[in-house]
Amino acid sequence: MWTWAWKSLVAQRAGSLGGACGIAGAFVLVIFFDAVWRGESEQIVTYVREMDADVWVMQRGVANMHMASSFVWDWKAEAIAAMPGVRRVTPILYLNSVYRVGDRRSFGYVVGLQPGDGRAGPWEMTAGRTVTAAGETVIPAALARLAGASLGDPVTIADRRFEVVGLSGGTYSAANTIIFVTMADLEDMLSLAGAYSFLLVDADDGVDAGALAARIRTDVDKVNAVTQEEFIRNDFAMAMQMGVEIIFLMTLISSVLAALIVAFTASALVMRARRELAVAKALGARSRSILAAVVLQATVVTLVGCAIAMAFTLFVMPWIPAFVPQLTLALSMATAARVAVIAVFVAAAGAILPGALVAAVDPATAFHR
């Protein structure tokens, strides 16, 4: 039966390939949604990662930056700066706010910098300079391109107008846009004085970051201090936690879709070969042998679909952000492995219906003229 299964599959290559492409489409959806979510989650921690502080200090009860609010009094920053093992403390103000660039209106993270601060500001400038005075802003270059904005154009953040003085790289995605202004402007917008949101702490050489964070938590009242790694981990976990149900749902929908396509393709193969299967049964082939042949066909179609999806993922997906800059994609081997596992179950599930059709084939129909 194996020879028949393989050769009849090849003989109906157009239909089989169509089914494989459909399955590939479903798998690409799984990989794509996962890559988008991972990419966005990675983008959420980009700022923290690029700052590369040894320790991050924030209000007690806060452990991450994404969508968090934190206030730390300025005297606490001075106290931390005076602690042994601390080389430098860089404060930032941080606000989640709505912005408008051209016709584009969206939600972004606004970081307030002390004028001339090169430590906590944009890490890659594609045009212009960083903020040095009130009313200035640095926006992502990708956002400027999408909105048709350039240096000197106005940007509205909340109810305040700013002028674009610089364009930054690596700071834009669908879920996380980072805009830089001066700390004074942000203080004014928040009606706040004498407080920061987060403190970036750089330790002296040889000082253990974990130990330093522990000392800060103990010695400074009502603050939380975590290492860079822990801060990133917390933010990433928070983002993934928010998206895990969506990813699960998308994976489930795509898997069901793939299973339906496998079932349809394999059923079509069975229906087309109904007479041949009746002949095979009449000649003495057992239903389980024929079923095994149909499962082989379903598995081959699924694996070809899986391979097409992987090829698309490897060779096409990396080009997507070039055309859709608001998307940040992160492809992972874990997703590929998950898709491969899903493929096995999809093939098995997709073979149930054709299996029932095989069982129903009446060998006596071989005599029909």
Partner 1 sequence: MTNPLLTARHLSKTYGSGTTAVRAVDDVTLDVAPSEIVLVMGPSGSGKTTLLSMLGGLLRPSAGTVEIDGIEITGKTEAELPSVRAVKVGFVFQAFNLLDALTVEENVLFPAQLMTGGRRAARDRATRLLDRLGLTHRRTALPKTLSGGEKQRVAIARALINQPPLILADEPTGNLDSHSGQEVMMILHDIARDEQRSIVFVTHDPRVEEIADRILWLEDGGLRDRKAAQHAWVLDPVCGMRVDEWTAVLSSEHEGRRYSFCSTRCQERFAANPAAYAD
CA angle 337, 24, 240 (to 5 degrees): 45
Q: How far is the CB of 12 from partner 1 (least distance, A)?
A: 8
Distance in Å, CB of 262 to partner 1, minimum: 21
> Minimum CB separation from partner 1 for residue 337, in Å?
34
The least distance separating partner 1 from the CB of residue 351, rounded to whole angstroms, comes to 20
Distances (CA, A) of 298 to 258, 294, 316, 360, 369: 11, 6, 26, 18, 29
The rounded distance, in Å, linking the Cα atoms of 331 and 139 is: 27
The first and second tokens of residue 299, run together, are 């598995």
Q: Would you say 14 or 364 has its CB closer to partner 1?
A: 364
Q: Which is nearer to partner 1, 101 or 294 (CB)?
A: 294
For partner 1, the closer of residues 152 and 284 by Cβ is 284
Find where tokens 């522990």 sit: 214
Q: Which is nearer to partner 1, 16 or 228 (CB)?
A: 16
DSSP for residue 204: P
252 SS3 class: helix
Judged by beta carbon, residue 11 or residue 158, the one nearer partner 1 is 11
Q: Which is nearer to partner 1, 1 or 214 (CB)?
A: 1
Output 260 or 282, the one with its CB closest to partner 1: 282
How far is residue 149's CA from residue 102's CA, in Å, rounded to a whole number?
7
Work out how close the CB of 287 gets to partner 1 at its nearest, in angstroms, rounded to a whole number.
Answer: 8
Cβ contacts of residue 63 below 8 Å, gap of 6+?
Answer: 224, 226, 231, 234
Element (DSSP H or E) covering residue 140: strand 136-140
Cβ(90)–Cβ(199) under 8 Å? yes
How far is the C-alpha of 351 from the C-alpha of 261, rounded, in Å?
10
Compute the least distance from the CB of residue 347 to partner 1, in Å.
Answer: 21
Between the CA of residue 311 and those of 121, 251, 288, 307, 317, what are the distances in Å? 39, 19, 34, 6, 9
Minimum distance, C-beta of residue 4 to partner 1, in the bound complex (Å): 6
Residues near partner 1, by CB under 8 A: 1, 3-4, 7-8, 10-11, 275-276, 279-287, 289, 363-364, 366-367, 369
Least CB distance from residue 299 to partner 1, whole Å? 18
Q: What angle do CA 250, 45, 181 make, to 5 degrees?
A: 120
Q: Give dist(CA 57, CA 70) in Å, integer.
A: 10
Pick between residue 272 and residue 338 the one whose CB is nearest to partner 1.
272
